[in-house]
Amino acid sequence: MKENNINKITGPLLIFGGAYSNLEALTALRAEAERLGIPPDNVICCGDTPGYCADPAACLDLIEDWGIHAIAGNVETNLVNGTDDCGCGFGDGSRCDMFAKLWYNYAANNVTERNLEYMAGLPDMLRFTYAGRKVAVLHGSPRNQSEFVWRSTEAELKAQFCAAAGAEVVIGGHCGLPFAARLPAGVEGASPPATRNGPPGLWLNAGVIGMPANDGTPRTWFMTLDDTNGFDYHFHPLHYNHQRAKARMLDDRRLPVSYAATLTTGIWDNTEIMPPAEEAREGVSLDPITIKAEASAAFYQQTLHPVHSAGSVTTSAPPKARLPLKNITKMEKYSDPKDLKSFGKIVDWQEDMGNKFFDWYSGVTEGDSALTEREKALIALAVSHAIQCSYCIDAYTTNSLQAGADEEQMMEAVHVAAAVKAGTTLIYARQMQRQVEKVTM
């Protein structure tokens, strides 16, 4: 692991992850840093600048020209190495994996030689001291750049990672969600041996600025550190022109249209990679005060993120009015749209047959053969309406757009299905007529 020790940093510090080729968000963040008076030397990027959205080269150029500190995420590492996979850790054949092939190939084909040279020089970890505490910035975990570390990841494991990084505070990226987790005193590895009697360890994730946090809002997230009165941190929502970022993605159908939709809906296309605790919070609006308050394990266990003002964050005491999990009841639905997001789990109880189905399915529906991919998607869309499969309609509407079909073609395909289905109803009128003739004549 390539490290860069930048010794001691003082003053306000801005940290963000995952620009994800979202030039509109990155431009807005730079303007926010300038508004706050935070110089480039006090700005840190946690990796994954290219990927997902429409402007990988422009985002890498902006960060390099800005002169901030940055580390490599798995996307930078794999682009530099020339691998044909983003290295995000998605399961083979999963929906995430399918979309990753689109955006990663787009990024690989659109970064420049200048971008590759810049990414090749990025360290995997930054070290510095801030307000007397040893801090390490990494992307995934000390053992794996692509390892997902969540708020719900066991405290003991995060404590071990802190010890492995030789830090009291670890600031991670990769998972895409902002959170704070205090590692309780007495946990083995909660801090390096030299400071074992000092403050308990702390794991922070600034979130990402390139995609929303699956909370049903288009806002994205970043974090600031403050050393005015010792080590302190605050989470901040970033508001930017998400409609323009979405339009940039839709201009080029080589990018996943589902991810373009996420920029405005604030809901991830799927939650395959999420643990149940994070998945359960889909669509619940985050607020900065609660994110910080949930650094306490007890507070985290008892609350969901309520809707809250997106104003400035203070060091106020945790909010009093929160929603205990035991008081939350969900309306159960026989047919749940989330089932589509986890379709890959059908292999769990019969792996061999499930894998054979997905191999056959992808061979039939993907790529150009005797039929183009667009023609296949339109046929599937028409059939979806004929058999009235709500899951299929959602999936093949997206696939039709992704394959380059327009709204008029899609509606015409549905009319063809409707006409054929009407015809199948009417053809049985001949049976009725024959029966009438048999009975009455």
pLDDT beyond 80 at 302: no
Pick from 59-68, 135-144, 234-243, 251-260: least confident: 251-260
Q: Write the pLDDT tens digit of every residue in 335-387.
A: 676 677 677 778 889 889 988 888 888 788 888 889 988 888 899 999 989 88
The Cα 183–Cα 238 span in angstroms is 28
State residue 306's pLDDT score. 45
Percent of all residues in the chain with a pLDDT value above 70, rounded to a whole number: 86
What domains does the chain contain, in order, with CATH numbers?
Answer: 3-326 (3.60.21.10), 339-427 (1.20.1290.10)
Mean of pLDDT values over 215-235: 96
Give the pLDDT confidence of 1-60 residue by residue, as tens digits: 899 999 999 999 999 999 999 999 999 999 999 999 999 999 999 999 998 999 999 999
pLDDT, position 12 = 97
Residue carrying structure tokens 């995000």: 88
Percent of the chain topping pLDDT 90: 54
By the 8 A CB rule, do 49 and 76 touch? yes
- At residue 315 the predicted structure's pLDDT band, cuts being 50, 70 and 90, is very low
Q: Give the whole-angstrom CA distance, residue 225 versus residue 247.
A: 33
Q: How confident is the model at residue 308 (pLDDT cuts 50, 70, 90)?
A: very low
Q: Who has greater pLDDT, 313 or 274?
A: 274
Q: What is the mean pLDDT of the chain?
A: 86
pLDDT tens column, 165-211: 999 999 999 999 999 999 865 544 444 443 444 456 999 999 999 99
The pLDDT assigned to 93 comes to 65
Judged against a pLDDT cut of 70, whether residue 334 lies above it is answered with no
User: Would strands 220-226 and 13-16 be described as parallel, antiparallel, or unpaired?
Assistant: antiparallel
> What's the rounded Cα separation, in Å, for the pair 315 and 180?
14
Rounded to an integer, what distance in angstroms lies between the CA atom of residue 391 and that of residue 399? 12
Q: Could you give the strand order of the β-sheet that contains 232-238, starting from the edge strand earlier in sequence?
A: 69-70, 43-45, 13-16, 220-226, 232-238
Summarize the confidence of residues 74-102 as an average pLDDT.
82
Which pLDDT belongs to residue 330?
47
Q: How sure is the predictor about 152, in pLDDT bands with cuts at 50, 70 and 90?
A: very high
Secondary structure, 3-state, the chain: CCEEEEEECCCCEEEEECCCCCHHHHHHHHHHHHHCCCCHHHEEECCCCCCCCCCHHHHHHHHHHHCCEECCCHHHHHHHHCCCCCCCCCCCCCHHHHHHHHHHHHHHHHCCHHHHHHHHCCCCEEEEEECCEEEEECCCCCCCCCCCCCCCCCHHHHHHHHHHHCCCEEEECCCCCEEEEECCCCCCCCCCHHHCCCCCCEEEEECECCCCCCCCCCCEEEEEEECECECEEEEEEECCCHHHHHHHHHCCCCCCHHHHHHHHHCCCCCCCCCCHHHHCCCCCCCCHHHHHHCCCHHHHHHCCCCCCCCCCCCCCCCCCCCCCHHHCCCCCCCCCCHHHHCHHHHHCCCHHHHHHHHHHHHHHHCCCCCCCHHHHHHHHHHHHHHCCCHHHHHHHHHHHHHCCCCHHHHHHHHHHHHHHHHHHHHHCHHHHHHHHHHHHC
pLDDT at 199: 55
Buried b (16+ CB within 10 A) or exposed e, 280-315: ebbebbbbbbbbbbbbbeeebeebebeeeebeebee
Task: Say how far apart CA 251 and CA 369 lie, in whole Å.
Answer: 25
By the 8 A CB rule, do 11 and 42 touch?
yes
Top-confidence range, 131-135, 295-299, 320-324, 333-337 = 131-135
- pLDDT of 64 strictly over 90: yes
Give the per-residue pLDDT at 323. 41
**Which of these, 174, 93, 235, 9, lies nearest to 161 by C-alpha position?**
174
Give pTM, 2 decimals.
0.77
Confidence of residue 258 (pLDDT cuts 50, 70, 90): confident
- Give the residue, 307 or 138, on which the prediction is more confident: 138
